[in-house]
Each structure stands twice: as structure tokens, then as C-alpha cells.
Chains A and B, each alone.
Chain A
Amino acid sequence: MFEIDAKGSYYRDLNNKVRDAISKGEKEITLKNINGQYYIGDGLREKVSIIIEGVPGNDLAAFMDGPTIRIKSNAQDNIGNTMNSGKVIIEGNAGDVLGYGMRGGKLHVRGDVGYRVGIHMKGDKKQAPTIVVGGTAGDFFGEYMAGGLLILLGLDENDPRPIVGDYLGTGMHGGMIFIRGEVDEKLCGAEVGIMDPDADDLKVLKAALTDYCNDLGLNLDEIMKKSFKKLIPVSLRPYGNLYAY
């Protein structure tokens, strides 16, 4: 276990310290007194584990390719921007535009997230990204989705807010969204189909949630007690008729 005290550190110096520690072979790094530093973990490619104490700034884990980052509090915007592999676990809430253009790896959020989470997610046979959100999400959840897996749980039954905002999955042309509970059709883009998950879907869902529950100390059976809806694109070409050729 290697510790870096980030109190008052400029992000560039902090990231250099992290890179130095990794190049010296450290596998587990704890960043203490983090207070809004941007770009933590950006572009890192080693399979290290980083624990963050304090609230990190925007663009954490952008273009990241391997590490596991655990944030023991809330986090801000743009986490996992175009991330390729690895994992980010957030024990609190997180902000807007998480997992933009994400290509692989996992984003596990215990609490709520903001707007435009999981937009432009990609995926193919070799790799696909997964985002699991324990609380609620804002508008444009899964916009332009082309691949991967988005799961929204709404675990706080006392939360009076709707589980998800408007424009759910607009422009979706690949991938899959699971939402715990019912989904109001009016919230979805025209290109989204709402259906009940079949046995294969449930396998995928359970596998993703088992990992999520392990990371955050939650009970899988409790979560699975409520039924899920599956959202997939109804057309590969939602805008196929837009143009006159």
C-alpha cells in the first residue's frame, strides 16, 4: 500500500506522482486529501488499484485502460470519458456525462448520477462497457447508445423523484439498458423499444449486478426482487429516412 498526500497538489504534479509510483511497481495506491483535482487516472494502462479519499475533480479515468479506482465519497463530472478498460467504483453520487463514448470497463455508482450518463457508449464482440447506477439518473440517459450495458436501479425506495429523466435512450442504435421497475414510455426516444427481459437477459443482468453488489456490499437477491425492463433499439437506422438521396 502506497500513500500519496494530495493536499494542495496541482493535478499535474499529483498525476506525475501517481505515474512515478506505478513505474516503481506499486500496485495499490491511496490518494489522501483529494480535493477537486482533475484528470486522476487519465490514460493509465497498468492494472493497479487506486483508492481516492476526498472528492476528485472532473475527467477522472478519462481514456483509462486498466486500473481500478475506488472513490470513497462523491465524484464530479465526465468520469470514464472514452474509457477503454478497468473499473471505477463510486461510493457516493456522481455528476453529469459519465462514461461518454466509453468502450470497455465498468463504472459502478452507489448513488445518483446527473444528466447525459452513458452517452455514445460503444461495444463489440471483444469488449463492451458496463455502467451500473444505484440511485436515479437525469435526462438523456444512454443517448446515442451504440453498444454496452447500462443498468439503473433506483434503490432508494423513499426517493420521490422519478428513477430516470426525459429523453431516455434517444438516438439509441445498439447496446442494452436495464431499468429496475417500470419505465414510462413517454420518457423514451422513438427509437427505443421497452420489453421484459428473457432468461438470457437475466443472466447478463445478474452477472453485472453480482459484481456491482460485491463492490458495494449490497444484496443481489434484494435488488432482484423487483422486476426489470429491458430497453433496446427498435431500428438499426433511426435516421434512415431523414434524407433525400
Chain B
Amino acid sequence: MFKSLAPPEYLATIDREKCIRCKRCIQNCGWGVYSWGGDKILINTSKCVKCLRCYHYCPEEAIEIKDNPTKFKNNAYWSFHHIRNIKRQAETGGIPLTGMGSDQNYPILFDNLMIDACQVTNPSIDPLREPMELRTYLGKKPSSVKIEKGKDGKLKLQTKMPPQIKLDLPIIFSPMSFGSISLNAQKVLAMAAKECGTVMNTGEGGLHEDLFPYKSNIMVQVASGRFGVNPDYLNAGVAVEIKIGQGAKPGIGGHLPGEKIPLEVAKTRMIPVGTDAISPAPQHDIYSIEDLRQLIYAIKEATNYKPVSVKIAAVHNVAAIASGIVRAGADIVYLDGFRGGTGAAPSIIRDHLGIPIEHAIAAVDDRLRQEGIRNEASIVAAGGIRSSADAAKAIALGADACAIATSALITMGCTTCGKCYTGNCSWGITTQRPELTARLDPEVYAERLINLLHAWTHELKEILGALGINSIDSLRGNRERLRGIGLDTQTLDILGVKPAGR
């Protein structure tokens, strides 16, 4: 067979002195890197993706995974990946796929924004001993409220409130379908969402019956493939999301490769086993804002007016599009920046289309305020929220809440190797192979995800305390409490923040 001229990205090595031939690396590797040669472990390093499952499960710490030192000649312009992709394309004629959000070296605005803190002239708050409110309601808010005094002297809200999603913290889980991730991974998200008072999102893959007990913490999704969408599904969750786009692949559709479609997934999606599940980029019933409005209200009619979220990728004209979405009747606008993750996307799309979420939040929040419709919908920001600080900055820029997915998967073992599209995830997350998914014990990993959310909750409260405010509402759109460092005037203007020192 013709040997690929695309060199391996990583070198898997075993210290033969330390190796006790226990074969755990063979069992644990979902990629087939290791095999038994009769007297020693054999290594096929071209299959290695550096997911580090073998490293963690080697009892003797005999395994080391190195970046391949035999790379092409160093070249600042022709990077390793450019050359490697050309070689792969020359061999296959195919589009190189990738998983995860973009790993390219674009500026990260979150890292150039600093949060304010109180000193001397205004008191900070100690969140460990004083109440601190993170409760968040997603949905349309009335432009004014009428309150009347009842006969018993108590104040009563007269205005009928539109439906709201109640969250105990301003962080939800981004949509990831059954198919793109394993059912056990979805269970982890559902259990953590229930425990922490937030919501997970089914993505476009239907709702497996095992998740029905968590339905008050689930948002369901309708996308162009309509996988798993029936009346039970629409009415199961607290809200319905229409997916138009995804930050990792704006303007292109979903593609779940046949390798990830065994019987259970095929059943939930109602398609043949082993076919590629295609959610095309256009929803062929939506060619305009008016058409979007039609689908939003079709869903509302079918669900007795549950809140409807519309998810779009952050693209150049995002502010005008978001305005249209709000005017079309959406209760939530979900913005997904170009760093947002994916189970499978062509790398050429992931790394070159869209805009960062930071710009998108600021632009959309500005636009909706200018048009006087900011109260008509909540903004959820997603696409590379790596820490509670990123979340706090996104909220200060104007988001009502943030959505996380990669951060959640990392608690389940993910090392961001980016090979989710192969269906071989050795951590049992982005795979449907039963021997791999069985590794992900939902209860064990739910606890880790709950820990993460608790930790971020504490951190957010500390940030609010340092800012001298006691409610996340006071941070929302409060760009006065952000300063930019090393950002040019135009970027500062778009973000609506002052440079540090001003």
C-alpha cells in the first residue's frame, strides 16, 4: 500500500524498561495505536491523536506522547498543518475534517479585557458572607410592568409575564446531540443541569427516553434535518431552539458521519443505520425573517407558547440579523462565536469563517438597545467560554447568559484533541462504540461537572464582590466596568469599552 506522505502528528512512545506488558494501553486506545506483538506492545503512531487516554491509564507511567519532532522544515508561512493538509488532500481528494473550536492563532479579545474592582472609595462585597444573586431569567421581558396593591395590602404584578426559563446561574450547556456525543455524555450534562439549576440542550438528535426524567432542565432543538422532532419532543423541555447556524461552521450544515449512527441513534433520528445524517445549511422553509417568524410561531402554536430560542453563528452582519430574529418573535437569541466547538466541521470553514463572540455580543446588544427592543429577547453568548472570567466579560459586554460545551466535555476527560468526527473518542464522549461509551460513568462525571459549575459560581460571586455589586443583573451590559488593553481604537469602539488607564 502507498505510504501516506502526511507524517504522523504525534509520536507515541513506551519506555520499555518501565512497561510491564499489562496491555491496558491496548484496551484503552480507541484509535488502534497499540497492539500485542507476542512479547511486547507494538505501536502504530500514525493513528495517535494525543488524547492521552493511554497515558492516564498506564499504571507504570511508561507512555509518553510527543509532538512529532520529524516535522517539515520550519517555515513561518508554510505551517506544518498547511503542508500536511495539502498532502492529505492530494492523497484523498477530500475535505479535511476537524472537531472542536478553532485552534488557530487569532486574537483573543477576552484576554485583552480586564474587569474593574473596588478600592477605597467604593466598598467591595464579601460574597462568602453577604447574599450574591446569580439567578437569571431567559425570555422576553415586558417593556414596563404594572403593579397593584391587593385587598390584603400585598403588591401584585398585574402585567402578564411572557414565559421565562429560570436559571440559578448565568451558564447553560450548549447543544450537543445524541449522535455527536454519547448518551452517557448527555446524561452527565442532564444530571449536572438538574443539580445546578440550569439547562442542557439536546442538539438536533432527538431526546432519548433515558433523558425524560430531566426534562425540566432540557431545551430541545429543531434544525434543518428535523431529527427526532415530534410533538412529545417539542413539549418535553422548557424551551425550543431553532438552529440556524453554528459558530464553528457558519453557513454550512450538520453532518453526522455514518460511523456514529448505530441502531440507537438511527432509531432516535428515524433514519437508516450507518447512513450519514445530514442537516443541510439552509432550512428550506426559511429563506427570510418572515419565514423564520412562521416557524417560530408554528412551534409556539404546537407547544402552547413555550419560549423559542434562535441560534445563529456570529457573522459579519450579526447585529442586523439578530434584530430580525427578535422582531420575528424569538424569546432568546443564541450567538455562537467562531471559537465554538463542533463534532465535525471542515477545517477550512472552522478556521476562516465567522467572527469572535466578543464582537458579536457587543454589536448585537448595541443594536437591540438602539432599536429599543433589547427587552424583547435574551442574549445567550457561546463559542469558547473557557472560564468564569470569560463568562463575566461576556455578560458585561451585554449577554444575559453564556453557554458552555467544550469546558463541560473537558470535565469528562476531553483533552481537546479535536478528532470528534471519527467516532473513536477513547474517553467515551464523542463516540457511539459501546465499549468506549461504557467508560463514561454518568454519575461519576456528573459530579465533576457539578464541581466545575460550583467553582465557577464561587468565582463569579467573587468577581461581583470585587466589583461591589451583589447581582449578576448589575453586571449585564455594564461595559463601564471593563477596560481594554492593547486594543485599537476601533475595536474599543465596537466593544464599547475604554482603554485601561482611562
Interface residues of A (CB under 8 A from B): 11-12, 15, 38-39, 42-43, 45, 58-59, 62-63, 65, 77-78, 81-82, 84, 97, 100-101, 103, 116, 119-120, 122-124, 140, 143-144, 146-147, 171, 173-174, 236-245
Contact = CB atoms under 8 A, between A and B. Distances in A.
Contacts of B295: 59, 81
B276 A173 contact: yes
Nearest to A173: B275
Interface string B218-243: 00001011110111001000000000
A214 B212 CA distance: 40
Give me the 8 closest cross-chain CB pairs, A-B, nearest first.
A101-B226, A43-B302, A244-B94, A122-B270, A63-B302, A244-B92, A42-B301, A146-B271
Contact of B302 (A62, A174, A243): A62
A243 B297 contact: no
Given A82-B226, A147-B270, A45 B297 contact: no
Given A174-B271, A239-B278, A100 B285 contact: yes
B271 A65 contact: no
A244 B272 contact: no
B230 A82 contact: yes
Given A63-B234, A63-B298, A65-B230, A243 B272 contact: no
Interface string B270-289: 11101110101000110000
B213 interface: no
Given A43-B303, A147-B272, 11 more contacts: A39-B301, A62-B298, A63-B302, A97-B284, A101-B225, A120-B225, A173-B272, A173-B278, A237-B276, A243-B421, A245-B94
Contacts of A43: 231, 234, 301-303
Given A101-B225, A101-B226, A171 B278 contact: yes
Given A62-B302, A124-B267, A242-B94, A103 B278 contact: no
Nearest to B224: A120
**A77, A123, A239 pick with most chain B CB within 10 angstroms:** A239
Contacts of A42: 298, 301-302
Interface of B: 85, 88-89, 91-97, 222, 224-227, 229-231, 234, 255, 257-258, 266-267, 269-272, 274-276, 278, 280, 284-285, 294-295, 297-299, 301-303, 346, 421-422
A97 to B, nearest CB: 5
Contact of A15 (B93, B285, B294, B301): B301
A110 B227 CA distance: 29
Contacts of A59: 294-295, 298
A234 to B, nearest CB: 12
Given A81-B285, A236-B258, A63 B231 contact: yes
Nearest to B271: A146
A216 B275 CA distance: 36
B297 A39 contact: yes
B97 A245 contact: yes
Contacts of B224: 120
10 contacts: A12-B301, A38-B294, A42-B302, A62-B301, A84-B231, A116-B284, A119-B284, A122-B270, A124-B266, A243-B346
B48 to A, nearest CB: 14
Contacts of B258: 236-237, 240
Contacts of A146: 270-272, 275
A235 B218 CA distance: 35
Q: Is the interface of B mostly helix, strand, loop or mixed?
A: mixed
Nearest to A84: B230
A103 B227 CA distance: 9
Contact of B274 (A45, A237, A243, A245): A237
A50 B271 CA distance: 31
Nearest to A43: B302
B276 to A, nearest CB: 5
A181 B240 CA distance: 43
A44 to B, nearest CB: 9
B302 A101 contact: no
Given A45-B231, A84-B230, A245 B271 contact: no
A174 B285 CA distance: 21
A171 B267 CA distance: 20
Contacts of B225: 101, 120, 144
A62 B240 CA distance: 15
A229 to B, nearest CB: 22
A244 B285 CA distance: 31
A33 to B, nearest CB: 20
A120 B258 CA distance: 17
Given A42-B298, A59-B294, A173-B271, A97 B285 contact: yes
B272 A236 contact: yes
A65 B280 CA distance: 25
A233 to B, nearest CB: 8
Nearest to A63: B302
B126 to A, nearest CB: 50
A173 B269 CA distance: 13
B348 to A, nearest CB: 11
Given A63-B234, A63-B298, A241-B94, A78 B285 contact: yes
Given A58-B294, A84-B231, A146-B271, A244 B276 contact: no
A122 B271 contact: yes
A12 B305 CA distance: 11
B270 A103 contact: yes
A240 B95 CA distance: 11
A168 B284 CA distance: 15
A113 to B, nearest CB: 14
A174 B92 CA distance: 27
Contact of A101 (B94, B97, B229, B234): B229
A242 B95 contact: yes
B87 to A, nearest CB: 10
Given A63-B234, A236-B258, A237-B275, A244 B294 contact: no
A84 B255 CA distance: 24
A45 B297 CA distance: 18
Contacts of A103: 226, 229-230, 270
B97 A236 contact: no
